[in-house]
Amino acid sequence: MDIQIRKHIRNNFKDSDVSEIKEAIIASIDSQDDVVLPGLGVLFEVLWNGSTKDFQQTILSTIHDHI
């Protein structure tokens, strides 16, 4: 079965404003449901790919410091 989760997640958020995206992220994290992790991973991929090398280093440092 080919779900194409990247395409599905991007389509779900393509018309969303910043507050809707924020609410979805917070709700996903608050749910503590593992089923939302792939969607959050897609959003992380968007963040990573859209970031400068310097900001990627900040992301890595933040993750490292909080694990």
- pLDDT of the residue at 51: 98
Which residues of the chain have a pLDDT value below 70?
1-3
- pLDDT of the residue at 40: 96
Domain ranges of the chain: 5-66
Using CA atoms, how far apart are residues 40 and 66, in angstroms rounded to an integer?
17
CB-facing half-sphere around the CA of 30: CA atoms within 13 A: 6
- pLDDT of the residue at 2: 60
